[in-house]
């Protein structure tokens, strides 16, 4: 049999941000085996359980394989099959009508975690249609790091695991489960094997905390206090990089004065980390040259995310770890088409003024709409009404904070179209559902636009089912119906060619190479300065007054006030077996994690009458859900770690696949939002627990 198998190379995609090079065995248009490619630039042979199970997405018997039109009431589960022409005509009719009645901005285009090139084709579609409103999860995912970086030092400081570091810090990053943005954990493990030290900042004793030289068990939502405590020690003890600070920073004296108040003792009260540990950790970071901070998602999961990112970049800068090999770097992209040109930003020059966010005073350069403001526009029509929504690669019913509000908003829309592989709680509320060809079934490019300095080829290895279309093709055809056709191509493959053309390659030639990486670039500031108004790293922001931002990173308390009725603190993390709410329907993954797991300390469990494996009711001021308790001393006794993204495909269409009973975002709210990014509190929320009823 093995002779009939054709082995092909591609990269993993859409199971997280992607990154692992794969060798895929194909027989009769079916994938029979997936292996990690030992030559993989990022993974060196590694592949995770999601990657191994990824072909099962394509062959699931309940996969969407026809365009569907809703027949009965919204969400009642009645559908009829329709042709692609009818589906696209109906979407176009509705969007064109909304555009002429309320203006193009009344139609919003929604996307989730960046999965492939379609992410940017969607932005292009919105721009060409004339809508400034692309709704994305960036408010809780990477925009705070990237854009705060741009304001503070002129770039997004990415961890450099490609060069040797003396110390790697996992600051709220569970890399062995999440491999986020292609920082595949094999690179971290290689660094450790070669002698790098490891520090972990995490409220849970994660696997890497067990291996770490130092683990700081921080109180959820207080990372900025901890980073300010580090800065206090580093500056008071004169451990900072004096040459770099003197030559390349702006506002050092202001920062030094400001952090005087953040003594390890005070910071210990704020963060629960013992003061002596804070001192040791700060000295350890400052003495390790170079040190790289892999900063994770939780720093972006509460209203103070701007302060956390600011404090961490200040820390990188004063210790001389910015833009140096093995530190946090400004990765240079290979020669590919620029983002602005690809998405046709030129066609919508007034975008910034027209966006929903213009009314909310968010930070300049933040170009997507936070889901909280999108729903306000739908529900309250502020600053203007939004009536139509096109959702791609995303499941807002689970991924946006406050799922009840999402339910109301999606129900209020005049028209909702969703493209997905599978029926989800979001697709269940749509007027039209479009079946997609996904990863493995289409040519694609990974990591374009992510700022890590490389792009990865994801050439197709099998053909999709007859009526499943790649998102890029869907948008190419929809684009011709809702905007001037000259902006669209005969074949959507042109988008891929456009990206790699500046490198002098065809897509086919790029696919044969596997990836393109920009040249290493370190200390570029020595020639040109930092790309900020002062040409330096702005420890104190020179633009603060102009943009209404705080000049210095601060800590003004936890994300939500303490609450005697809710004495525990809720946080959450991603499962290694799923991507957010995706793929609960993939049997091989579901077997590994059949139910939503909530971790609590054994003492906390006992005090609340909860046993191992029993149902646990988790409650905040905003809602209550049920998950299954797992008792572990990896947890702090006052912290509850619940699972995110749970719905139940097996619950069926009545009630839209039970998006309520175990969904973490029933516990969150959009009542408080961070000013700069419109970020809600997903973590650090007061909660209480008890046995499930």
Classify residue 187 as exposed, middle or buried by CB count within 10 Å of its CB (0-12, 13-18, 19+).
buried
* 308 in contact with ligand SF4 (CB under 6 A): no
- Cα four-point dihedral sign 171, 174, 175, 179: negative
Which residues bind to Mo ion, rule: CB under 5 A?
113, 141
Interface residue with ligand SF4, options 179, 303, 305, 395 (CB under 6 A): 179
Alpha carbon separation from 434 to 45, 70, 298, 474, 590 (Å, rounded): 35, 12, 33, 9, 25
> Is 167 or 442 the residue whose CB approaches ligand SF4 more closely?
442
Residue 195 CB, nearest distance to ligand MGD (Å)? Answer: 24
Asked whether 559 and 308 are in contact (CB, 8 A), the reply is no
Segment interacting with ligand MGD (CB under 6 A) among 1-9, 30-38, 144-152, 413-421: 413-421
- Total residues interacting with ligand SF4, rule: CB under 6 A: 13
**Beta strands 444-446 and 454-458: pairing type?**
antiparallel
- The answer to the question of residue 403 lying near ligand MGD (CB under 6 A) is no
Question: Residues near 550 by Cβ (< 8 Å), separated by ≥ 6?
Answer: 306, 307, 541, 544
Q: How far is the CB of 155 from ligand SF4 (least distance, A)?
A: 25
**Pick 20 or 336: Cβ nearer ligand SF4:** 20
The stretch among 41-49, 469-477, 522-530, 658-666 that binds ligand SF4 (CB under 6 A) is 41-49
Binding residue for ligand MGD, selected from 133, 304, 403, 581, defined by CB under 6 A: 581
Between residues 179 and 405, which has the closer beta carbon with respect to ligand SF4?
179
Three-state SS string across 126-165, please? HHHHCCCCEECHHHHCCHHHHHHHHHHHCCCCEECCCCCC
Residue 15 touches ligand SF4, criterion: CB under 6 A: yes
Q: In this structure, what are the phi and psi dihedrals at residue 63, rounded to the nearest 5 degrees?
A: -60, 145
Contact status: 186 vs ligand SF4 (CB under 6 A): no
Stretch that binds ligand SF4, among 17-25, 402-410, 455-463, 609-617 (CB under 6 A): 17-25
- In whole angstroms, the minimum distance from the beta carbon of 594 to Mo ion comes to 24
Q: Does 43 bind ligand MGD (CB under 6 A)?
A: no
Among the listed ranges 13-21, 61-69, 95-103, 681-689, the one in contact with ligand SF4 (CB under 6 A) is 13-21
Nearer to ligand SF4, 186 or 656 (CB): 186
Footprint on residues 48-67 left by ligand SF4 (CB under 6 A): 48, 50-51
Asked if residue 188 binds ligand MGD (CB under 6 A), the reply is no
- Classified as helix, coil or strand, 34 is strand
CA dihedral 556, 559, 560, 562 (to 10 degrees): -70
Q: How far apart are CA 191 and CA 45, in angstroms?
A: 16
Angle at 555 between CA 641 and CA 146, to 5 degrees: 75
- Residue 394 sits in the site that holds ligand MGD (CB under 6 A): yes
184 part of the interface to ligand MGD, by CB under 6 A: no
Q: Check residue 232 and report its DSSP letter.
A: H
Dist CA 629 CA 607 (whole Å): 14
Nearest distance from residue 189's CB to ligand SF4, in Å?
Answer: 13
Residue 312 C-beta: closest distance to ligand MGD, Å? 10
Q: Does 187 bind ligand SF4 (CB under 6 A)?
A: no
Among 321, 540, 665, 669, binds ligand MGD (CB under 6 A): 665
Contact of 5 with 17, CB cutoff 8 Å:
no
Q: Could you give the string, one character per residue 331-360, with x where binding to ligand MGD holds by CB under 6 A and - elsewhere?
A: ------------------------------
User: Which residues are CB-contacts of 71 (< 8 A; sequence separation ≥ 6)?
Assistant: 78, 79, 80
Q: Does 202 bind ligand MGD (CB under 6 A)?
A: yes
**Residue closer to ligand SF4 (CB basis): 368 or 643:** 643
By CB neighbour count within 10 A (0-12 exposed, 13-18 middle, 19+ buried), where does 100 fall?
A: exposed
**Which position's Cβ is nearest ligand MGD?**
112
Residue closer to ligand SF4 by CB (options 13, 132) is 13
Name, in order, each residue with C-beta under 8 angstroms of 496's C-beta and a sequence gap of 6 or more.
117, 443, 444, 445, 507
Asked, as a colleague might, if the bond just before 290 is cis with ω within 30 of 0, I would say yes
Out of 91, 104, 201, 369, point to the residue binding ligand MGD (CB under 6 A). 201
Per-residue 3-state assignment (H helix, E strand, C coil) for 393-414 = CCCHHHHCCCHHHHHHHHHHCC
Q: Three-state SS for 237?
A: coil
Question: Angle at Cα 680 formed by Cα 679 and Cα 681, nearest 5°?
Answer: 125
46 lies in the site for ligand MGD, by CB under 6 A: no
Residue nearest to ligand SF4 (CB): 51
Determine if 559 is a binding residue for ligand SF4 (CB under 6 A). Answer: no
Which residues in this chain contact ligand SF4 in the complex, by CB under 6 A?
Answer: 12, 15-16, 18-20, 43, 47-48, 50-51, 179, 184
Q: Where does this chain bind ligand MGD (CB under 6 A)?
A: 14, 16-17, 112-113, 115, 137, 140-141, 171-174, 177-180, 201-204, 206, 218, 220-221, 223, 296-298, 392-395, 398-399, 419-422, 424, 436, 438, 471, 571-576, 578-582, 644-645, 664-665, 668, 682-684
């Amino acid at each position: 049999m093995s002779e009939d198998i054709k082995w092909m190379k591609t990269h993993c995609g859409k199971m997280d941000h992607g990154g692992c090079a794969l060798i895929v065995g194909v027989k009769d248009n079916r994938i029979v085996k997936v292996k990690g490619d030992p030559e993989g630039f990022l993974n060196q042979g590694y592949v995770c359980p999601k990657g191994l199970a990824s072909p099962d997405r394509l062959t699931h018997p309940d996969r969407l394989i026809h365009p569907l039109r809703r027949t009965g009431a919204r969400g009642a589960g009645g559908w009829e099959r329709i042709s692609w022409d009818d589906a696209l005509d109906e979407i176009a009719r509705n969007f064109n009508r909304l555009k002429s009645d309320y203006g193009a901005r009344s139609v919003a285009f929604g996307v989730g975690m960046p999965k492939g090139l379609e992410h940017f084709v969607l932005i292009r579609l919105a721009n060409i249609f004339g809508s400034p409103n692309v709704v994305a999860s960036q408010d809780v995912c990477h925009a705070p790091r990237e854009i705060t970086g741009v304001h503070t030092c002129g770039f997004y400081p990415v961890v450099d695991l490609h060069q040797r570091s003396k110390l790697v810090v996992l600051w709220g990053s569970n890399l062995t489960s999440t491999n986020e943005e292609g920082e595949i954990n094999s690179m971290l493990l290689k660094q450790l094997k070669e002698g790098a030290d490891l520090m972990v900042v995490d409220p849970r004793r994660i696997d890497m905390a067990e291996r770490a030289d130092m683990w700081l068990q921080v109180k959820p939502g207080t990372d900025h206090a901890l980073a300010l405590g580090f800065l206090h020690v580093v500056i008071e003890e004169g451990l900072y990089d004096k040459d770099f600070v003197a030559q390349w920073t702006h506002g050092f004296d202001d920062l030094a004065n400001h952090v005087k108040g953040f003594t390890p003792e005070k910071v210990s009260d704020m963060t629960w980390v013992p003061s002596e540990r804070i001192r040791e950790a700060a000295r350890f970071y400052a003495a390790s040259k170079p040190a790289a901070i892999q900063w994770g998602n939780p720093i972006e999961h509460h209203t103070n995310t701007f302060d956390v990112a600011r404090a961490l970049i200040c820390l990188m800068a004063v210790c001389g770890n910015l833009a140096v090999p093995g530190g946090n770097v400004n990765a240079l992209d290979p020669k590919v088409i620029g983002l602005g040109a690809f998405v046709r930003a030129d066609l919508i020059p007034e975008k910034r003024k027209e966006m929903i966010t213009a009314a909310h005073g968010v930070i300049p350069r933040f170009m997507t709409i936070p889901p909280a403001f999108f729903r306000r526009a739908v529900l309250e029509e502020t600053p203007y009404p939004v009536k139509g929504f096109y959702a791609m690669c995303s499941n807002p019913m689970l991924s946006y904070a406050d799922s009840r509000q999402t339910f109301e908003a999606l129900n209020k829309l005049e028209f909702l179209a969703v493209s997905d592989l599978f029926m989800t709680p979001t697709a269940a509320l749509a007027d039209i559902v479009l079946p997609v060809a996904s990863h493995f079934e289409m040519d694609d490019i990974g990591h374009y636009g992510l700022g890590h300095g490389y792009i990865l080829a994801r050439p197709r290895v099998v053909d999709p089912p007859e009526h499943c279309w790649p998102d890029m093709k869907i948008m190419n055809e929809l684009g011709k119906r809702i905007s001037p056709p000259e902006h669209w191509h005969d074949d959507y493959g042109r988008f891929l060619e456009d990206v790699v053309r500046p490198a002098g390659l065809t897509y086919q030639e790029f696919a044969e190479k596997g990836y393109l990486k920009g040249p290493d670039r370190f200390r570029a500031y020595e020639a040109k300065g930092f790309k900020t108004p002062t040409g330096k790293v702005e420890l104190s922001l020179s633009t603060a007054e102009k943009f209404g931002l705080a000049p210095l990173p601060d800590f003004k308390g936890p994300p939500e006030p303490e609450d005697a009725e809710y004495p525990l603190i809720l946080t959450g993390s991603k499962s290694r077996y799923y991507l957010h709410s995706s793929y609960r329907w993939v049997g091989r993954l579901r077997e590994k994690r059949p139910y939503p797991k909530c971790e609590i300390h054994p003492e906390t469990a006992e005090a609340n009458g909860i046993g191992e494996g029993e149902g646990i009711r988790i409650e905040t001021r905003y809602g209550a859900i049920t998950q299954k308790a797992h008792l572990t001393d990896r947890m702090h006794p006052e912290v509850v770690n619940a699972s995110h993204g749970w719905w139940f495909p097996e619950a069926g269409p009545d009630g839209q696949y039970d998006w309520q009973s175990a969904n973490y975002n029933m516990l969150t709210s959009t009542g408080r939002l961070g000013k700069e990014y419109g970020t809600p509190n997903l973590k650090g929320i007061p909660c209480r627990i008890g046995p499930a009823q």
